[in-house]
Every structure is written in structure tokens, then in C-alpha cells.
Structure 1
Amino acid sequence: GVDLRTVQLWFQENEKGISTANIRWLARVFGCDDPVATSEWQMELSAAQSRLSAKRREWKRAGSSVAQEIPDTALTATFDD
């Protein structure tokens, strides 16, 4: 079986995102091979990936604007703590 938490971590820790083919496979597993359920899962998983990608872009933009305002030594100290 597939553990939902494992899939969640896969989404979160994979910087490039999950491929369309893998989203289709996950949807098929979660949809129990039912065509309608698989289609619904695929739409939800794709939407979740899109939301996560948008959040990552926002975080990177926010991080880069903060990085321009704060000296490098302060950033290093923040990440080391």
C-alpha cells in the first residue's frame, strides 16, 4: 500500500515537483483503479502540486527580498540556529 504521509512528504521535499506520470500512478492507486475516482484524484493531486509550487515561488521571492535587506552574516546565523 501507499502511506498518505509518505506521499505528502514526497510532495514537500521534492523541489522539482512530482512528474505528471507519477501523479497519474498515485491517482490510480488512491482511486483503486476506478476510472472516475482516479480522475478525481488526479485533478486533486495536480491542484495540490500547483498550490505548493505557487507557495514555493512566494517563499523564494520573500526570501530574496529579505536577503537583499539583511547582511549575509545575519542570514548565516539564522540558518545555523
Structure 2
Amino acid sequence: MKKIAVVGAGIVGLSVAYKMLLKHKNLDLTIFEKEDKIGSHQSGRNSGVLHCGLYYKPGSLKAKLAVEGIREMTTFCIE
């Protein structure tokens, strides 16, 4: 059994842990968080906006990643 540590219980840390556990059923995964609540730092302070890419140059990497990010986040939330 592999032992894995995830540092930080914000949206990124918890998402990584979730995906790892889905993909690898035989993991001993521990999440370390220094605060008493999850999402206490950056995850709890951002605006929560998914950018659609409208303000980026059409066809630019930023525009493409914004659209892809919305698709990925929507799929992740539905899961």
C-alpha cells in the first residue's frame, strides 16, 4: 500500500486527494491542514468566479484555458 500526503485542505488539496483516491483504491492518504477548518486560506478568500475567456484575445492560450477550465469544473462539480 502506498502512503501519500496532501498538504493543505483547500479546494486544490481536497480535489487532488479526491481524484487520487478515485484512481488508486489502495492508497493510505493523509491530508494535513494547519487550521481547524478546511478552506480557511486562499480557497476561502477568492471571488469564486470562473472566467469565461471573454476578455482574453480570441484563440489565445488564456482564452482556451478559461473555456476548458469551466468545462472541467462543471464536470467535477457534477461528479
* Structure 1 length-normalised TM: 0.31
Point out the structure with the larger helix share: 1
Normalising by the residue count of structure 2, what TM-score does the alignment of the two structures yield? 0.32
Q: Which has the higher strand share?
A: 2
Bigger relative contact order (CA 8 A; separation at least 6):
2
